[in-house]
C-alpha cells in the first residue's frame, strides 16, 4: 500500500535533519529554515528524524508537523546514532535535491542556497567547508585538521572538511549509497567511488545557541577505524584478495625463507638448530601460518564480494547515461530493465 506522500509530486528540495535532545533548537531551526526555503524554492519538504530523544524534541516536532504538511517527522525506536538517522531521512526523502544538516543550529540555514547552487550547475555533491572554525583549538580544530588530512589522503577526495553534516546531494547520488556504522562523514568518499562530481562550498561555523555538543575528542579516534573501512571499500571491495594477498605473500615468503636458512644450516653444520635458533623457528612458523590465513581471508572475502554484488543485482560500475541513435533499437537487456 502506498503512503499518501508517494502519490504527491516530489518536491524540489528535501532537507533531512537528525535530532537528538534538541528541544531548545527545534522551533528556531524550523522558523529560520522555512524562511530561507520559502524565499528560494517553490516546493520543499523538511524531514526531521528524532533519534530517540529523551526531552521534548519529539513532541515539539509533532506539533510542527501537525500544522505544516511540508514537514515529516520520523521517530526511531531507540538511539541508533547519527548515521542511521541520516539514512532513514534519505530513504524517506523525495526531493530531486537532498540537503542534510544538523539540528543544533550550528549550521546557518541562510547558507543553504549557496550549498544547493552547485547541484543545479551539474555537480552531484556539494560539501560544506567550515573555512573559519571558531571552536576550541586544541580539543576540536587540531584533531579535526589531522583527521581531515588523513581522510583526504586515504580516500583520494581532496576536501578540507569531511566532518560537517551540511551537504547537498543529487537524489540519485545519495540513494546509491548504503550507510553503516558511523560512515556519514565519509559520504563524499563513498560517492566518489560511483564517479560523483564533488565540490566544496564555504559555510559559516557558528556556536550552538542551546545545549552542548554530543561529540568530543573521542570521536577523532573512532574516525581512524572508519578510515580503514572506507579505504577498503574504495580500493578493494571488488578485489579483496589484493588487499590481503600482498601482506600474506610477504609473510609466507619471509617465513619460508627463515626455514630454508635454518634447514641449510642444519645440513651444513649439523648442529642443534632447534636449541640455538628456537626463536627463529617459531617466528618462521608463525609467519607461514599468518600468510596462509591472510590468503584464506582474501579468498573468503572474494566469495563474499561476489555474493554481495550478484545477490543484489549490484553492478561494479555506475552508468551516467546511454546515448544511441533515435532509430537504433536498445538491447534486449536494456529493454528488460525499463519494464
Query: Helix, strand, or coil here: 98?
Result: strand
pLDDT over 60 (residue 68): yes
pLDDT over 80 (residue 336): no
Can you tell me the distance from the alpha carbon of 263 to that of 252, in angstroms, rounded to the nearest whole number?
16
Q: Which helix (H) or strand (E) holds 198?
A: strand 198-203
pLDDT over 90 (residue 47): yes
Can you tell me the distance from the alpha carbon of 103 to that of 61, in angstroms, rounded to the nearest whole number?
12
Q: Which three cell numbers stand for residue 320?
A: 551516467
Q: What is the pLDDT of residues 78-130, one digit of tens each?
A: 888 888 899 999 999 999 999 999 998 888 999 999 999 999 999 999 999 88
Contact present, 247 and 204 (Cβ < 8 Å): no
pLDDT at 338: 41
- Mean pLDDT, to the nearest integer, of 253-257? 93
Query: What does pLDDT average to over the chain?
Result: 81
Give the lowest-confidence range in 223-232, 255-264, 329-338: 329-338
Give the lowest-confidence range in 242-246, 269-273, 281-285: 269-273
pLDDT at 12: 95
Helices within 270-339 (DSSP H only): 273-276, 278-311, 332-338
Q: Which of 53-57, 187-191, 333-337 has the highest mean pLDDT?
A: 53-57
Residues of the chain with pLDDT > 70, as a percent, come to 78
pLDDT at 22: 92
Beta strand pairing status for 71-75 and 44-50? parallel
Q: What is the pLDDT of residues 136-170, one digit of tens each?
A: 555 566 776 777 777 777 777 888 787 788 999 99
User: How is 84-97 classified by DSSP, letter by letter?
Assistant: HHHHHHHHH---SE
- Mean pLDDT, to the nearest integer, of 182-203? 85
In this predicted model, which residue has the larger pLDDT, 181 or 267? 267
Give the lowest-confidence range in 11-15, 22-26, 238-242: 238-242
Contact present, 243 and 232 (Cβ < 8 Å): yes
Question: Band of the pLDDT at 1, cuts 50, 70, 90?
Answer: very low
pLDDT at 183: 75
Contact present, 53 and 21 (Cβ < 8 Å): yes
Question: Band of the pLDDT at 199, cuts 50, 70, 90?
Answer: very high
- Mean pLDDT, to the nearest integer, of 285-306? 88
End-to-end Cα, the chain, rounded Å: 21
In this predicted model, which residue has the larger pLDDT, 87 or 275? 87
Amino acid at each position: 500500500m502506498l503512503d499518501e506522500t508517494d502519490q504527491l509530486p516530489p518536491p524540489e528540495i528535501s532537507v533531512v535533519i537528525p535530532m537528538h535532545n534538541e528541544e531548545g533548537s527545534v522551533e528556531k531551526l524550523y522558523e529560520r529554515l522555512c524562511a530561507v526555503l520559502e524565499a528560494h524554492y517553490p516546493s520543499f519538504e523538511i524531514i526531521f528524524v528524532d533519534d530517540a530523544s529523551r526531552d521534548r524534541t519529539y513532541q515539539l516536532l509533532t506539533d510542527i508537523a501537525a500544522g505544516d504538511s511540508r514537514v515529516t517527522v520520523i521517530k526511531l525506536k531507540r538511539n541508533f546514532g547519527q548515521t542511521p538517522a541520516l539514512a532513514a531521512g534519505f530513504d524517506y526523502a523525495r526531493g530531486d535535491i537532498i540537503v542534510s544538516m544538523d539540528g543544533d543550529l550550528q549550521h546557518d540555514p541562510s547558507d543553504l542556497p549557496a550549498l544547493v547552487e552547485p547541484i543545479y550547475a551539474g555537480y552531484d555533491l556539494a560539501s560544506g567547508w567550515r573555512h573559519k572554525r571558531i571552536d576550541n583549538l586544541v580539543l576540536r580544530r587540531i584533531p579535526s585538521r589531522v583527521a581531515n588530512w588523513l581522510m583526504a589522503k586515504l580516500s583520494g577526495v581532496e576536501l578540507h572538511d569531511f566532518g560537517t553534516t551540511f551537504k547537498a546531494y543529487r537524489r540519485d547520488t545519495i540513494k546509491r549509497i548504503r550507510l553503516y556504522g558511523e560512515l556519514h562523514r565519509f559520504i563524499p568518499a563513498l560517492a566518489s567511488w560511483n564517479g560523483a562530481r564533488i565540490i566544496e562550498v564555504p559555510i559559516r561555523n557558528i556556536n550552538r545557541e542551546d545545549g552542548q555538543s554530543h561529540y568530543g575528542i573521542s570521536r577523532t579516534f573512532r574516525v581512524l577505524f572508519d578510515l580503514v573501512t572506507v579505504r577498503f571499500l574504495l580500493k578493494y571491495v571488488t578485489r579483496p584478495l589484493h588487499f590481503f594477498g600482498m601482506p600474506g605473500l610477504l609473510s609466507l615468503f619471509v617465513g619460508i625463507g627463515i626455514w630454508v636458512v635454518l634447514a641449510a644450516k642444519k645440513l651444513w653444520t649439523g648442529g642443534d638448530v632447534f636449541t640455538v635458533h628456537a626463536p627463529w623457528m617459531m617466528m618462521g612458523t608463525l609467519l607461514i601460518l599468518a600468510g596462509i590465513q591472510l590468503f584464506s581471508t582474501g579468498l573468503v572475502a572474494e566469495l563474499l564480494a561476489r555474493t554481495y554484488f550478484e545477490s543484489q543485482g549490484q553492478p561494479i560500475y555506475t552508468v551516467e547515461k546511454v546515448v544511441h541513435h533515435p532509430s537504433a533499437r536498445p538491447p534486449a537487456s536494456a529493454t528488460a530493465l525499463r519494464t
